[in-house]
Amino acid sequence: MTNAGNELTSLITSTPQEGRDLAVKLARKSIAEIQTDPEIRKSLRKSYAEDTAQLIASAQVVAVEFQTIAMANNYWR
Amino acid sequence: MTNAGNELTSLITSTPQEGRDLAVKLARKSIAEIQTDPEIRKSLRKSYAEDTAQLIASAQVVAVEFQTIAMANNYWR
Amino acid sequence: MTNAGNELTSLITSTPQEGRDLAVKLARKSIAEIQTDPEIRKSLRKSYAEDTAQLIASAQVVAVEFQTIAMANNYWR
Amino acid sequence: MTNAGNELTSLITSTPQEGRDLAVKLARKSIAEIQTDPEIRKSLRKSYAEDTAQLIASAQVVAVEFQTIAMANNYWR
Amino acid sequence: MTNAGNELTSLITSTPQEGRDLAVKLARKSIAEIQTDPEIRKSLRKSYAEDTAQLIASAQVVAVEFQTIAMANNYWR
Amino acid sequence: MTNAGNELTSLITSTPQEGRDLAVKLARKSIAEIQTDPEIRKSLRKSYAEDTAQLIASAQVVAVEFQTIAMANNYWR
């Protein structure tokens, strides 16, 4: 996996754990694409990290992104 | 990818990053199709860009659109 | 695509754009099936078209309907 | 399709429209399984039929059920 | 289907209706796994059974679980 | 399944029940990745375990994670 920069160059990862990490990264990048100001994102961060409803909604985004990545990697079978 | 205009002509993209960009574009087009007034959309934009619950919901839409695009591109394998 | 009437006769469309249009139409038909009074639907329309959370939720419905249509059309590859 | 009774006997339908109808029926049956009192369901019905957020959420359930039915019918290709 | 106990031993069911029943059961088990106290679950039950937004959200969970079960059973074709 | 540590090493499980357990674990790990302070997570736990809307949303996350795991295991057929 060579997604070190901001560009997504591949969905292929070596391990399922790297797939999880990529899923979290994609979810975060989606939010950064809509709220482009990093200072505002930082100030918003505390609010959702202590709001369980938003934590659960975030986990839902990660679950869908991970499903796509798992398919791409043929589930690391 | 030749989706420069407002018409969606293809789901095929050269890279995963272009697939992400298309997913964001499709999500925005859905909203523009329901709220057709660009001035109102602009005024609404600030409210959701500073509301983490809505940012997360937007990321969920992007995740589903991206899954479809990734399937179409055979995951850029 | 010959879905001119109210009956859904096919998921096959000529282009991805027609697939998007059908996805929006299916989402609207679902709502019309639950709230059958067109006058009430019209009065409700303004409320959700100016509420970003509901616009985003609507975009999510369109994304799922579109995924089904894209599968049906083998992604217009 | 022979799902006239309360039992779901098949996901196969003759047409996409029958597939939509079955998707709506499945969504309603899920709710009836949780709130088993038909009188309470009737009284609740008005509230969600005039609440756009709930209409949109209902449309989301129909979209997922329809995706399953469309897969089962090989998209009526 | 031999899922009489609390352990999920198989996703295979004889009929689509049994698949629906299993989907509802899986949704309930997820909730029981998070809120492990049966008395609290019982007291919570009334609140969501009379709240249409939560009934609809529950139907969404059932729809996703059912999709998985339907795939496992090759849609009972 | 050898996911005893914090690293996700495989999506393959011996039984559907182990697949459910892994789905719950993945959902929890997503939340822990966003809210990294275990003390805050513990304090938040009570609030969502007694809020049915959040319990249902959690069940939705588990349903999507389980779908991915079930696909990976070819539905334990």
> What does the pLDDT look like over A30-71, one tens digit per residue?
999 988 999 999 888 888 888 899 999 999 999 999 999 999
Residue A35 within any structural domain of the chain:
yes
- B48 and C52 within 8 Å at the Cβ level: the answer is yes
This model of the complex carries an ipTM of 0.94
Q: Is the pLDDT of residue B1 over 50?
A: no
Residue E55 within any structural domain of the chain:
yes
Is the CB of D64 inside 8 Å of chain E's CB atoms?
Answer: yes
Contacts of C28 (CB under 8 A, 6+ apart): none
Q: Is the pLDDT of residue D2 over 60?
A: no
Residue A9 within any structural domain of the chain:
no
Range of the domain at D30: 16-76
- Per residue in E6-62, pLDDT tens? 899 999 999 999 999 999 999 999 999 988 999 999 888 888 888 999 999 999 999
Q: Which residue has the tokens 């009737």?
A: D42
Integer-rounded Cα Rg, in Å, for chain F is 14
Contacting chains of F (3 CB pairs or more, <8 Å) are A, E
Decide: D61 and E60 in contact? Cβ < 8 Å.
yes
Residue C20 within any structural domain of the chain:
yes
Nearest Cα to C67, choosing from B67, B77, B1?
B67
Decide: C37 and D46 in contact? Cβ < 8 Å.
no
Residues making up chain B, counted from first to last? 77
Work out the minimum CA distance from C77 to partner chain B, whole angstroms. 7
Name the band, by pLDDT with cuts 50, 70 and 90, for residue D63.
very high
Q: Is the pLDDT of residue C25 over 70?
A: yes
Neighbours of D57 (CB within 10 A): 22
Encoded tokens for B23: 């997913």
Strands (E), F1-77: none
Strands (E), A1-77: none
Integer-rounded Cα Rg, in Å, for chain A is 14
The DSSP secondary-structure symbol of C76 reads G
Residue A11 within any structural domain of the chain:
no
- Per residue in D7-56, pLDDT tens? 999 999 999 999 999 999 999 999 999 889 999 998 888 888 888 999 99
The DSSP secondary-structure symbol of F55 reads H
Residue B30 within any structural domain of the chain:
yes
Task: Kindly state the percentage of chain C with pLDDT values over 70.
Answer: 94
Instruction: Say what the pLDDT of residue B15 is.
Output: 97
- C27 and D59 within 8 Å at the Cβ level: the answer is yes
For residues F65 and F76, what is the distance between their CA atoms, to the nearest angstrom? 16
User: Angle, nearest 10°, between helix axes B52-72 and A52-72?
Assistant: 10
Residue B3 within any structural domain of the chain:
no
Residue C10 within any structural domain of the chain:
no
Q: Is the pLDDT of residue B14 over 90?
A: yes
Is the CB of C59 inside 8 Å of chain D's CB atoms?
Answer: no
Total count of domains within chain B:
1
F42 Cα distance to chain centroid: 16
